[in-house]
Amino acid sequence: MFDLRPKTSRDELFDREMGLEELHRSVGRGYPLIAVLGIRRIRKTSVLKTFLGEIKGIYIDLRGIGAQLIWRKEFPTL
Protein backbone atom coordinates (compact mmCIF):
# COMPACT_ATOMS: atom_id res chain seq x y z
CA MET A 1 0.00 0.00 0.00
CA PHE A 2 1.19 3.53 -0.77
CA ASP A 3 2.48 5.51 2.22
CA LEU A 4 1.47 9.19 2.20
CA ARG A 5 4.13 10.31 4.68
CA PRO A 6 7.08 12.29 3.28
CA LYS A 7 10.04 10.17 2.21
CA THR A 8 13.53 10.68 3.61
CA SER A 9 15.87 8.73 1.30
CA ARG A 10 16.57 8.44 -2.43
CA ASP A 11 15.54 4.78 -2.35
CA GLU A 12 11.99 5.81 -1.44
CA LEU A 13 11.66 8.57 -4.06
CA PHE A 14 10.37 8.02 -7.57
CA ASP A 15 11.43 10.27 -10.46
CA ARG A 16 12.77 13.13 -8.33
CA GLU A 17 16.50 12.88 -9.07
CA MET A 18 16.55 16.14 -11.05
CA GLY A 19 15.07 18.07 -8.15
CA LEU A 20 17.61 16.64 -5.72
CA GLU A 21 20.51 17.40 -8.05
CA GLU A 22 19.28 20.97 -8.56
CA LEU A 23 19.23 21.49 -4.80
CA HIS A 24 22.79 20.17 -4.51
CA ARG A 25 23.94 22.48 -7.35
CA SER A 26 22.22 25.49 -5.79
CA VAL A 27 23.87 24.92 -2.42
CA GLY A 28 27.21 24.31 -4.15
CA ARG A 29 26.89 27.68 -5.88
CA GLY A 30 26.42 29.34 -2.51
CA TYR A 31 22.86 30.57 -2.99
CA PRO A 32 21.78 32.02 0.38
CA LEU A 33 18.10 31.21 -0.10
CA ILE A 34 16.49 28.39 -2.05
CA ALA A 35 12.72 28.08 -2.49
CA VAL A 36 11.08 24.76 -3.29
CA LEU A 37 7.80 25.62 -4.99
CA GLY A 38 5.05 23.63 -6.67
CA ILE A 39 1.44 22.56 -6.54
CA ARG A 40 0.20 20.36 -3.72
CA ARG A 41 1.15 16.70 -3.40
CA ILE A 42 4.07 16.52 -5.83
CA ARG A 43 6.55 15.45 -3.13
CA LYS A 44 8.24 18.78 -2.39
CA THR A 45 8.64 17.84 1.28
CA SER A 46 10.01 14.40 0.38
CA VAL A 47 12.62 15.92 -1.94
CA LEU A 48 13.59 18.49 0.68
CA LYS A 49 13.81 15.97 3.53
CA THR A 50 15.87 13.60 1.40
CA PHE A 51 18.21 16.44 0.41
CA LEU A 52 18.60 17.61 4.00
CA GLY A 53 19.38 14.05 5.07
CA GLU A 54 22.14 13.87 2.47
CA ILE A 55 23.79 17.10 3.62
CA LYS A 56 23.12 16.54 7.33
CA GLY A 57 20.72 19.49 7.42
CA ILE A 58 17.67 20.04 9.60
CA TYR A 59 14.00 20.44 8.72
CA ILE A 60 11.86 22.92 10.65
CA ASP A 61 8.14 22.97 9.93
CA LEU A 62 6.82 26.54 10.30
CA ARG A 63 3.23 25.90 9.32
CA GLY A 64 0.94 27.97 11.52
CA ILE A 65 3.69 30.26 12.81
CA GLY A 66 2.31 33.23 10.83
CA ALA A 67 -1.09 32.94 12.49
CA GLN A 68 0.53 32.90 15.93
CA LEU A 69 2.58 36.01 15.17
CA ILE A 70 -0.49 37.90 13.91
CA TRP A 71 -2.44 36.85 17.01
CA ARG A 72 0.31 38.17 19.32
CA LYS A 73 0.52 41.45 17.42
CA GLU A 74 -3.26 42.02 17.62
CA PHE A 75 -3.71 40.76 21.19
CA PRO A 76 -0.36 41.23 23.00
CA THR A 77 -1.76 40.88 26.52
CA LEU A 78 -3.42 37.48 25.97
Give pLDDT, residue 51: 96
Looking at residue 9, what is its pLDDT?
92
pLDDT in tens, 19-74: 999 999 999 999 988 989 999 989 999 999 999 999 999 888 877 776 666 656 66
Domains of the chain: total: 1
Q: Which domain holds residue 52?
A: 10-74
Residue 48 is assigned to a structural domain of this protein: yes
- Are the beta carbons of 17 and 50 closer than 8 angstroms? no
Does residue 55 sit in helix, strand or coil?
A: coil
The pLDDT value given to residue 14: 87
pTM for this entry: 0.75
pLDDT value at residue 62? 78
Residue 61 lies in a domain: yes
| Dihedral of the alpha carbons of 37, 39, 43, 48, in degrees to the nearest 10 | 10
Whether 1 maps to a domain, the answer reads: no
Is there a domain that residue 45 lies in?
yes
pLDDT at position 61, please? 83
Beta strand segments in the chain, E: none
Please indicate, yes or no, if residue 55 is contained in any of the structural domains. Answer: yes
Q: Is residue 4 part of a domain?
A: no
CB neighbour burial string for 17-36, b if at least 16 within 10 angstroms, e if fewer:
eebbeebeeeeeeeeeeeee
- 14 within some domain: yes
